């Protein structure tokens, strides 16, 4: 089987834009979560979010494209451009039939449809922006990335809730390993900050209500955690067949070694209490990588800061790693960029790639008093210099979706 490596990282996140922006945000150990400014959130229990600041679409794409795209496509296309540049790829010089796109987005352009709906109710269909028809569907982001660069290889977008970004990277990895493509742009994009989308999650009491202290609202594994904090953004990785990457002298962040996907088949929001299927995803990813649990040094946890998820994930990690679980370094990094649903798994894969290349593991910030059920080494509030050989990145989503990636040091 062919080896697959990461040669480019592109990000649009609340922590920062571009690989360097994201890395600077991680090292600052500060949460960007604040009061919602995109709309009036006063009617909701939750009034905080992680918003992308200082993003100007025309800095990343032609003005005509920026006007045609909704925000979730803008984020994805921008992240893809940043990743292509970071990888040193010149699309015009490549065999674009051998380059594909694999993206994830839980909600696609639904927020844009929500934005257009009041005009439709008030003035009828002629008030609706004609771009809506082509912007709202989930696959718009992968298609727009392909069109922008002329990539004619495999193209797909999955919509598997909070695991979508991880699944997209995993499927991109499989496409290269199996010979369907030589390069895949893989990641996720999400722009859910609109009243109906946001309010729906507030309605089911899934989000934190720490409105007066938003900087500490996302607190994975902490005893006082009370829900996730919604975010937005995108991340795209350039995945490349190793021999090809080495031949062109590309920098290599890490190798993608394994990937697996399971489903709890239990409940739409609550994880299966025993963590069995989450554990099985991790175990299968390790088998896919040809690795044993003892080979892993660091886990970037899903760590959503919800009462059930964090303790269940801890249980699942122990189930897979046994006594070695207490020697693992684990961190939940969503406090840096919020929970951007279908994009967050790709952002966390990018975090892992950067951490491996730069030999520093980001901490779990806001972890003041660990939940007794969460008793692993979560790198509480302080990062750690380390050079792990293998790392794992987990994403667990609504509907019981469990996805795990295994990355190897370059």
Does the active-site annotation cover 162?
yes
Tell me the three-class secondary structure of the chain, residue by residue: CCCEEEEEEEEEECCEEHHHHHHHHHHHCCCCCEECCCCCCCCCCCCEEECCCCCCHHHCCCHHHHHHCCHHHHHHHHHHHHHHHHHCCCHHHCCHHHEEEEEECCCCCHHHHHHHHHHHHHHCHHHCCCCHHHHCCCCHHHHHHHHHHCCCCCEEEECCHHHHHHHHHHHHHHHHHCCCCCEEEEEEEECCCCHHHHHHHHHCCCECCCCCCHHHCCCCCECCCCCECEECEEEEEEEEEHHHHHHCCCCCCEEEEEEEEEECCCCCCCCCCCCHHHHHHHHHHHHHHCCCHHHEEEEECCCCCCHHHHHHHHHHHHHHHHHHHHHCEEECCHHHCCECHHHHHHHHHHHHHHHHHHCEECCECCCCCECCCCCCECCECCCEECCCCEEEEEEEECCCEEEEEEEEEC
Specify whether 131 is located in the same domain as 198: yes
Specify whether 267 is located in the same domain as 223: no
Mean pLDDT score of the chain: 97
Does the active-site annotation cover 266?
no
Q: 356-408: per-residue pLDDT in tens?
A: 999 999 999 999 999 999 999 999 999 999 999 999 999 999 999 999 999 99
Q: Which of 11, 302, 352, 374 is catalytic?
A: 302
pLDDT at 293 over 90: yes
Q: Which of 11, 149, 339, 374 is catalytic?
A: 339
**How much of the chain, in percent, has pLDDT values that exceed 70?**
100
Does the active-site annotation cover 302?
yes
Specify whether 222 is located in the same domain as 310: no
Q: What integer pLDDT is reported at residue 199 of this predicted model?
A: 96
CATH at residue 281:
3.40.47.10
Higher confidence at residue 131 or residue 239? 239
Residue 366 domain boundaries: 260-400
Q: How many domains does the chain have?
A: 2
Identify whether 93 is part of a domain.
yes
pLDDT level of residue 341 (50, 70, 90 thresholds): very high
Q: Which of 162, 218, 352, 374 is catalytic?
A: 162
Please tell me the pTM assigned to this model.
0.98
Identify whether 38 is part of a domain.
yes
Specify whether 85 is located in the same domain as 193: yes
């Amino acid at each position: 089987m062919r080896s697959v490596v990461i040669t480019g990282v592109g990000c649009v996140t609340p922590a920062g834009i571009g690989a360097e922006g994201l890395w600077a945000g991680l090292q600052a150990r500060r949460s960007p979560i604040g009061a919602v400014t995109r709309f009036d959130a006063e009617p909701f229990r939750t009034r905080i979010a992680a918003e992308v600041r200082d993003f100007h679409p025309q800095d990343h794409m032609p003005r005509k494209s920026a006007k045609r795209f909704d925000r979730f496509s803008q984020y994805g296309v921008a992240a893809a451009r940043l990743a292509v540049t970071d990888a040193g790829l010149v699309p015009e010089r490549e065999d674009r039939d051998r380059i594909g796109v694999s993206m994830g987005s839980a909600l696609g352009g639904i927020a844009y449809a929500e934005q257009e709906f009041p005009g439709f109710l008030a003035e009828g269909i002629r008030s609706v922006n004609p771009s809506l028809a082509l912007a709202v569907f989930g696959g718009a982001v992968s298609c727009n990335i392909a069109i922008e660069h002329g990539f004619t290889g495999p193209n797909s977008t999955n919509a598997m809730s909070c695991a979508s970004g991880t699944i997209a990277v995993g499927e991109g990895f499989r496409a290269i390993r199996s010979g369907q493509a030589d390069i895949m742009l893989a990641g996720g994009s999400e722009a859910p900050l609109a009243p109906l989308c946001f309010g729906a999650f507030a309605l089911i009491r899934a989000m934190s209500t720490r409105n007066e202290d938003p900087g500490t609202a996302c607190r994975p594994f902490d005893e006082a955690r009370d829900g996730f904090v919604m975010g937005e953004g995108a991340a795209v990785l350039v995945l490349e067949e190793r021999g090809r990457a080495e031949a062109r002298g590309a920098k290599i962040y890490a190798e993608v070694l394994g990937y697996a996907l399971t489903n709890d088949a239990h409940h739409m929001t609550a994880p299966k209490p025993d963590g069995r299927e989450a554990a099985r995803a991790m175990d299968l990813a390790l088998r896919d990588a040809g690795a044993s649990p003892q080979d892993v040094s660091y886990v970037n946890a899903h760590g959503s800061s919800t009462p059930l998820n964090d303790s269940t994930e801890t249980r699942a990690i122990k189930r897979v790693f046994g006594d070695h679980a207490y020697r693992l370094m684990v961190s939940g990094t969503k406090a840096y960029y919020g929970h951007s649903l279908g994009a967050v798994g790709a952002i966390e894969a990018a975090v892992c790639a950067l951490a491996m290349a730069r030999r520093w593991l980001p901490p779990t910030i806001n972890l003041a008093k660990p939940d007794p059920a969460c008793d692993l080494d979560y790198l509480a509030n302080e990062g750690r210099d380390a050079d792990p050989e293998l790392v794992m990145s987990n994403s667990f989503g609504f509907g019981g979706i469990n996805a795990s990636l295994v990355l190897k040091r370059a």
